[in-house]
Structure 1
Amino acid sequence: MQVYPINLKLTGRRCAVVGGGAVAERKAAALIAAGAEVTVFSPVLTPGLSALQEAGGLCWTPRVYVDGDLHNFFLVFCATDQREINRQAAEAARAAGAMVNIADAPELSDFYVPAHIAQGDLLITVSTGGASPVLARRLREEIAARYGPEYGQYLELLAKLRPEMKKRLATAKAREKFWRETIDQEVLDLLRKGKFSEAEERMRHAACCIRTEP
């Protein structure tokens, strides 16, 4: 099945998690990290979910999901250990206009949550369409070993320099050349060694060289 890859901005969006176990905890924590307003429906919570609730990170409805609970949510995650409850909650949420993910039935879900790594603003995702979460996790581990924290630091440095480079490099061709040439192993090696200032200086020097070319 073909799916459409997309990164969602969830800040301020209302999202629900049906269930209070380990899977529900992972879903809720990821939603909170993305800025969503999270409500959990479950008679009990894991210690991790309890800590999030006590810290004000989520709203807790301390009972089993019932009809009418899932109106006005953008995303709904059905993550109980009972397939029938997950199915019923998914149907109700979908009827109310929400996009649904069912933890134990990816084939019935509207979307999948891919395995991913995040290094600052760098986000790399891996999806097997729900066919093999184990393979997705293995690929994620291999990618994480290849793209370390220095890539996030590199993006942070680019964001810092971008306004200045737009002013310094007058033409689109010069800017393209600069961005292409600054993605080099030496800059990444400097960042990997914690030499942020030296990496920034190297990038500034590259901009000066490009500017002075005929």
Structure 2
Amino acid sequence: MRGLLAGYIPIMLDCEGKRCVVVGGGKVAERKAASLVEAKADVVVISPTLTTSMAQWQEAGLIKWIARPYEYGDLQEALLIYAATNSVEINRQVAKEAAELRIPVNIVTSQEEGTFMSPSVMRRGKLIIAVSTTGAGPAAAKEIRHQLEHEFGDEYEKYTEFLYRIRSVVQSKVSDPVRRHTLLKAAATMDILNSIRAGSFDWWSDEEIESWIIQTQGE
């Protein structure tokens, strides 16, 4: 397994509809499962017991529960795995099977035995900012995330949604990739954030976005 000094790259992983396995049913496992539920993954939790929150998710159909301890063979066809029990030995068994299957695995009791780390994450709608100290100081990563939460307020949720709408219309109306790039770059430089903060921003209709496209292309 890679050590803490290995080179890591940050990625945004599409988990929607993909089988993701969490081994463990305690509070740490709950946090791991929560992020997967938010990502609309096909979440499978393997544990004899569940926290109250996870039991509610299971009743609501948000997760699938295998109500027993982990067994070899449970990890087949998973996109990624969290070994989140309080047993070092069980987590090592999960890590061993994950390595055999070449499936990314996070080991909560020993980061260096896993192949990926979960950063501290801040979300504002479609804006996601992830902070990691590569295992050197998880508490420091959380503190940095708290600082970012103050800097990037709720206005960014509306702002990123606005940019997403413009991007969608541009992609459907403009076939030339160079023109698309120019338009999206222009959209990113518009002073929308201050309008949102001032409460003076009005959502653009598709027709208004199309007019903006024509105007911007003509400049």
TM-score bucket of the superposed structures, by smaller chain: 0.7 to 0.9
Letter of the 1:175 counterpart:
L
* Residue 161 of structure 2: aligned partner: 156
Matched, 1:73 2:78: yes
Matched, 1:63 2:71: no
Matched, 1:141 2:146: yes
CA distance, structure 1, for counterparts of residue 198 and residue 53 of structure 2 = 34
Which one has more relative contact order, counting CA pairs under 8 Å at least 6 apart? 2
Matched, 1:8 2:16: no
Per the TM alignment, residue 190 of structure 1 is displaced from its structure 2 partner at its CA by 2.3
Mapping for residues 78-157 of structure 1, pairs under 5 Å: 78-157=83-162
Q: Structure 1 residues 188 and 200, CA, compared in 2 at 3 Å: closer, same or farther?
A: farther
Q: Structure 1: any 5+ residue segments left out of the alignment?
A: none
- Partner of residue 187 from structure 2, selected from 179, 198, 202: 179
For 1:37-59, what per-residue CA distance to the aligned partner results, in whole angstroms no more than 9, with x for missing partners?
A: 11111111100110011101111
For 1:53-101, what per-residue CA distance to the aligned partner results, in whole angstroms no more than 9, with x for missing partners?
A: 1101111111111222222212110001111111111112221332110
Q: Structure 2: any 5+ residue segments left out of the alignment?
A: 1-5
Q: Structure 1 residues 110 and 209, CA, compared in 2 at 3 Å: closer, same or farther?
A: same
CA distance, structure 2, for counterparts of residue 20 and residue 80 of structure 1 = 7
SS of alignment partner, residue 39 of structure 1: strand
Matched, 1:36 2:41: yes
CA distance, structure 1, for counterparts of residue 118 and residue 87 of structure 2 = 20
CA contact (8 A) 2:28 2:84 kept: yes
CA distance, structure 1, for counterparts of residue 218 and residue 45 of structure 2 = 59
CA contact (8 A) 1:178 1:206 kept: no
Q: Structure 1 residues 27 and 86, CA, compared in 2 at 3 Å: closer, same or farther?
A: same
Matched, 1:192 2:200: no
CA distance, structure 2, for counterparts of residue 191 and residue 123 of structure 1 = 19
Q: Structure 1 residues 163 and 12, CA, compared in 2 at 3 Å: closer, same or farther?
A: closer
CA distance, structure 2, for counterparts of residue 27 and residue 135 of structure 1 = 19
Letter of the 2:136 counterpart:
A
CA distance, structure 1, for counterparts of residue 184 and residue 200 of structure 2 = 25
Per the TM alignment, residue 152 of structure 1 is displaced from its structure 2 partner at its CA by 2.0
Sequence identity of aligned pairs in percent?
Answer: 38
TM-score of the aligned structures, taking structure 1 as reference length: 0.85
SS of alignment partner, residue 58 of structure 2: helix
RMSD over aligned Cα atoms: 2.6
TM-score of the aligned structures, taking structure 2 as reference length: 0.83
Per the TM alignment, residue 143 of structure 1 is displaced from its structure 2 partner at its CA by 0.9
Across the two proteins, how many residue pairs are aligned to each other? 207
CA contact (8 A) 1:149 1:192 kept: no
Per the TM alignment, residue 114 of structure 1 is displaced from its structure 2 partner at its CA by 0.6
